[in-house]
Structure 1
Amino acid sequence: FNLSKFVWDSEENSELKCEIQEAKPKLKYWLYRENSRHYHVFEPIETVLKNFNWERTEVDSSTSATIHYDWDLLWAFEYIRQIPLNYSKLKHYQRINHIPGNVHLVLKSYMATNTDLKYVPKAFTDIEELTEYANKHPEKRFVEKFKANRGVSLKKVSEMNLTDTNNIYEDYFAQEYVEDPFLINGHKFDLNIFVVITSVDPLRVYYYGKTYHLRFCSKPYDPNNFDDVDTYAISDSHIPGIQFPFVETLINNSYSAKDAVHTYLKGKGLDPQIVDDQIEDCIRKIILMKEPKFIQAIKATSGAHGKNHFFEFVRFDFILDSKLQLYLMEVNMSPNLIPYKSVGYKTIFDNVAFNVLSLVGFEGSLNGSRVRNVLNDDLFCQKDCLTVLPEMCLKKPCNESCDNSECDLCFNCMDEFIIEDLKLAYYEHMRIGDFVRVIPPSNESMMSDRSYFTGLSYKNDLYARWCLEMCKTFNLSKFIWDSEENSELKCEIQEARPKLKYWLYRKNSRHYHVFKTIETVLKNFNWERTEVDSSTSATIHYDWDLLWAFEHSGSIPLNYSKLKHYQRINHIPGNVHLESMMRDRSYFTGLSYKNDLYARWCLEMCKSNRHFS
């Protein structure tokens, strides 16, 4: 399932579109890169923000005194510690795309040498420690890597120069070489996964599950010849995944790179789920390990609203060995979304950028921005969207006191900060798009394997238990921007917008009160009611977008051939109720060809990990 953004854009309405956009209040973004000549790296992010009707603002970041704070989003390419921000001046809605302390995750040498995890090959910055380890393990080989930049070469330990000049762009470290890599058609490759950390304490982490980003070595792998780095390392001359022949064949037939890898594995008699399970497990465990460093660094910023200012978008780069053991090579901060090697990546990267910005809450201009309105929009997320365990919270001791630990999921016992976290979690669930939640794990995973809860911090444990309970009581509601603070501005914007029209039909016009709930929501969506004389087919006009009828639409003398593509009617001719085909296979008995085809497609979409349900 692919989520895309509606942009009203036709020549016929272009002039009106401009007038409406000018009337809308605009959120502002600031793009920061130390070298201003390289702003092209922001292109996909900026494309989406402009489609959201955001406005770019310039900021003089030469000193703390020259920085202004009239912006909603700072998107920086480098570490934010290089920017002389005064975090105490930040407003509650201002967001920054890096988490303080992220160096412990994204700097290759830090991550590799300070992470005791089966997915991370052992690494060294000290030549004496490396030599001692190599002598104990003569069967192992090592690669020399830059601490920050790309650059890998297989060397003997005696040839390595593990410098420490405090220049991460020139210093090296060493890491175990992963022997016997898994190959596709004779080529070594890496498998890249985009990840978003939307919160720490508690952690909320998601990965882009729609596809893999693949890169192949430009030359076939040769286990007997390591003189040519292009046979065993991903260099600048690598082959983009979507141009690798086997993958390209599937992509040309409308499948994804992920489908291609899964198909190849199945062809070898291997289970692709082994790979996906390891990807989730590695992402989860390594970010949980680094969270204390994030919390410590965030506290040091003395930000006005603490952790809520920060999120992180990164890319995990993995490789597989021939036994499908997964290994993490590095975590890229500010992953490059520029399709410089293949224009085919543009739509993929634009979709990634759109999903990231939607998940974090930057859906549109002021009225559509979750981060602007999270503290006061009770229409999208009401209290009953967050409450769980009524059978416990309404009884003793929880209904009398919050002193008992069992009451910590009771809404009345939660402090405002936890409630705000749960609101944001609820929003993210509603706008998850092509992302998959990895922290906490899926509810099915937590229910089948309770080991996730071992050693969790209080807030991570609380959030995971809340997710499990929400699975039992989940309530879907619709976001409507409606706060007293912005009511005047809201009216101005609504007056400038073109209005969609609805027609309410009931035979007995005295009983229009049955439409009260539907009409309340449509009016909050700024729709306009239109009257239609339905006495004959000749008197009916078709200047409406939605017909909501109480009776069967067959009782209305409509000329269906006059309907425009966007007009919708709330009844299906011959409408029937469909039982769940997952629970009851009898649904398929006697189905028409198209209904059977669509039902089977839905089932297969669920299997392909696109969370189509």
Structure 2
Amino acid sequence: MRARWFSLPFIVSFLILMCFILLVINFFELSWMQMEHNKFHHAQQTYPAAASIPRPLNDMMKKPIYSVFARHSEAGHLRHVYDVFDVYGYTKKPLESDPDWNVLWAHEYPFKTLADKIVFSNLKPYQKVNHFPGIGFISNKVDLATSDIKYIPPAFQMPSQKSKFLSYAKKYPNKFFVQKQNNHRGIKIKSSTELDFNSTGSFIQEYIDNPLLIDGYKFDIGVYTIITSIDPLRVYMYNGDILFRFCPEKYHPFDPNNVDKYVIGDDYLPTWNVPSLKKYYVDQGASMKVSVESHLKTLNKDATKIWNQLEDAIRVICLEKEPLIKNLMKNYKSKTNFFEMARFDFVVDDNLNVFIMEVNMSPNLSSAHYPQNRLLYEQVLFNLFALVGLTHFERKKDSNKMIVSMKNIVAYPKHCSEIDCNTCQSEDCKLCLPCIDSEIERQLTNAYREHIDRHDCKRIFPPTFERRLLVNSSNDLSRYNQKNQLMYKWFKGKCIEDVEWC
């Protein structure tokens, strides 16, 4: 039989030859890569500009760093915070290991505890801290409740306002009261004989005894609020959804000894278990806010009245407390290193009147208890990061004008062209090009970037406008300080130019 040309010896010889050829090719490829590496390394030393040749991201630039200040930081309550930092490519490092961090995420108030580790009054321009010095003027429950501000039920600090409370209780003998402290634990309706008038650091507050009910359950409303600037003040709310929490037991028949009927605890009744809301939230995939709004429409109640009051209450409180925070921040070199994300908690009565209960400085963002809340928390954080500039990774100083230039921030160009602004003394000239100094330019640049990066956040202050009412309208801004007036006028001018800014 004639031998076949593809005999075993031939195949073995062929495979050996191919392996040899591949080894030779690999050798020359490695030699070429080494030669190119040496040339590039030499170019970096001889010609520094050569370093701008594109390289892999991790080699080309240092990844942004965040540090955390929290008790039991790995316990899980900051899991979603870590996840969002990871989405944006941050590296987590302890404060002690690298002082050149980009973001300090503090679950507790950091300015006293970390004073020996961080000089907060002299931070670098790119460093951000997730609290404002003095935010306790808003989040401290005693200070807030006894501020005599619209939307806050009457409250009396103990023991200093004992006589004032007794006069009020005598005037309204049928009202209920609760006694609270900053730790928010143990809230219960009490009679005047059960109240502790000598409890320092506590306050007695009128109880809203006619709450709006859904399917018989009392609820509260949590609005995630972001403060991006103090003096001038800029405040936003996360508008993608609002947190609704329901008491686990129906309100009626009312029993003051059963706190599950009127106090929202950790084991609250979630929206998806409220029968009238489930068909919107679960079956139709609507938000909590839209689910409640849809239900109220079936009762001929207009939820817009609630939403408008929520926004106004946040605005009123931030404006009232801003001077106190501003005064404390005089000790800090820059006010642009700080931002705040808090949750304002409200109750609503059966006439759709809104009352603020408290402001949480570091609100719960853990979905461990209710996994269904994960998306809400992640979206709140995603929007927060964008709004306050935690996603800005420009590496060159000269890139700033690419993002925001003077033509982006000028307002009222027609008006400014018709008036004399040579001296810049007139208030009408403050936003005209010759009168925009470096401080005003910086604030307007920050406001511009917030606006284009706000995603699903809504501006609370300066307030939004109805464009059709603006052109010939004038507003009394005397209640605002000078910087807030200027910021208000700037947003108004941008709104007149473009409805998207309203």
TM-fit CA distance, 1:452: 6.6
**Paired position in structure 1 for 2:203:** 173
Q: State the secondary structure of the residue aligned to 1:264.
A: helix
Q: State the secondary structure of the residue aligned to 1:159.
A: coil
The answer to which of 244-253 and 258-267 deviates more is: 244-253
Please give the residue correspondences for 1:452-531 in structure 2 after superposition, counting only pairs within 5 Å: 453-474=477-498
Q: Sequence identity of aligned pairs in percent?
A: 32
Asked whether the 8 Å contact 2:241–2:376 carries over to 1, the reply is: no
**Paired position in structure 1 for 2:64:** 27
- Specify which of 360, 384, 402 is matched with residue 332 of structure 1: 360
Q: State the secondary structure of the residue aligned to 1:344.
A: helix
**Paired position in structure 1 for 2:102:** 72
Query: TM-score by structure 2 length?
Result: 0.82
TM-fit CA distance, 1:161: 1.7
- Specify which of 400, 416, 441 is matched with residue 419 of structure 1: 441
**Paired position in structure 2 for 1:108:** 141
Asked whether the 8 Å contact 1:443–1:468 carries over to 2, the reply is: yes
Asked whether the 8 Å contact 2:409–2:444 carries over to 1, the reply is: yes
**Paired position in structure 2 for 1:385:** 408
- Specify which of 244, 257, 261 is matched with residue 231 of structure 1: 261
Q: Which runs of 4+ in 1 moved over 6 A?
A: 372-375
Asked whether the 8 Å contact 2:155–2:204 carries over to 1, the reply is: yes
- Specify which of 359, 371, 391 is matched with residue 387 of structure 2: 359
- Specify which of 263, 279, 290 is matched with residue 259 of structure 1: 290
Counterparts of 1:426 and 1:470, CA distance in 2? 10
Q: Deviations over 1:492-512 (max 9, x none)?
A: xxxxxxxxxxxxxxxxxxxxx
Residue type at the aligned position of 1:43: R
- Specify which of 150, 170, 180 is matched with residue 118 of structure 1: 150
Counterparts of 1:111 and 1:275, CA distance in 2? 21
TM-fit CA distance, 1:374: 8.1
Asked whether the 8 Å contact 2:215–2:274 carries over to 1, the reply is: no
Counterparts of 2:467 and 2:302, CA distance in 1? 18
Query: TM-score by structure 1 length?
Result: 0.68
TM-fit CA distance, 1:28: 0.8
When Rg is computed on C-alpha atoms for both structures, the one with the higher figure is 2
Residues 345 and 220 (structure 1), Cα distance of their counterparts in 2 relative to 1, 3 Å cut: same
Counterparts of 2:57 and 2:399, CA distance in 1? 25
1:49 lines up with 2:49 in the alignment: no
Gaps of 5+ in 2: 1-54
Asked whether the 8 Å contact 1:397–1:404 carries over to 2, the reply is: no
Residues 233 and 461 (structure 1), Cα distance of their counterparts in 2 relative to 1, 3 Å cut: same
Counterparts of 1:475 and 1:319, CA distance in 2? 33
Residue type at the aligned position of 2:81: I
Counterparts of 1:155 and 1:375, CA distance in 2? 63
Q: State the secondary structure of the residue aligned to 2:163.
A: helix
Q: Deviations over 1:521-561 (max 9, x none)?
A: xxxxxxxxxxxxxxxxxxxxxxxxxxxxxxxxxxxxxxxxx
Asked whether the 8 Å contact 2:467–2:495 carries over to 1, the reply is: no
Asked whether the 8 Å contact 1:102–1:294 carries over to 2, the reply is: yes
Q: State the secondary structure of the residue aligned to 2:77.
A: helix
- Specify which of 366, 370, 374 is matched with residue 342 of structure 1: 370
TM-fit CA distance, 1:36: 3.0
Residues 451 and 178 (structure 1), Cα distance of their counterparts in 2 relative to 1, 3 Å cut: farther
Residue type at the aligned position of 2:177: F
TM-fit CA distance, 1:245: 3.1
Asked whether the 8 Å contact 1:199–1:205 carries over to 2, the reply is: yes
Residue type at the aligned position of 1:31: V
Q: State the secondary structure of the residue aligned to 1:406.
A: helix
Residue type at the aligned position of 2:231: D
Q: State the secondary structure of the residue aligned to 2:386.
A: helix
Please give the residue correspondences for 1:13-412 in structure 2 after superposition, counting only pairs within 5 Å: 20-21=57-58, 23-33=60-70, 35-36=71-72, 39-60=75-96, 69-81=99-111, 82-84=113-115, 85-114=118-147, 116-126=148-158, 127-164=162-199, 171-222=201-252, 224-252=254-282, 253-300=284-331, 303-304=332-333, 306-363=334-391, 366-367=393-394, 377-398=400-421, 400-412=422-434
Q: Deviations over 1:179-202 (max 9, x none)?
A: 210000000000110000000111
Counterparts of 1:172 and 1:404, CA distance in 2? 48
Q: State the secondary structure of the residue aligned to 1:377.
A: helix
Counterparts of 1:452 and 1:265, CA distance in 2? 35
How many residue pairs were aligned?
A: 439
Asked whether the 8 Å contact 1:385–1:475 carries over to 2, the reply is: no
Counterparts of 1:451 and 1:156, CA distance in 2? 47
Residues 445 and 190 (structure 1), Cα distance of their counterparts in 2 relative to 1, 3 Å cut: farther
Q: Deviations over 1:41-72 (max 9, x none)?
A: 22212111111001111014xxxxxx963111
Counterparts of 1:227 and 1:32, CA distance in 2? 39
Gaps of 5+ in 1: 1-17, 61-66, 166-170, 477-610
Q: State the secondary structure of the residue aligned to 2:403.
A: coil
**Paired position in structure 2 for 1:480:** none
Counterparts of 1:452 and 1:264, CA distance in 2? 38
TM-fit CA distance, 1:124: 1.3
Asked whether the 8 Å contact 1:386–1:422 carries over to 2, the reply is: yes
Q: State the secondary structure of the residue aligned to 1:456.
A: coil
Counterparts of 2:150 and 2:87, CA distance in 1? 42
Asked whether the 8 Å contact 2:347–2:355 carries over to 1, the reply is: yes
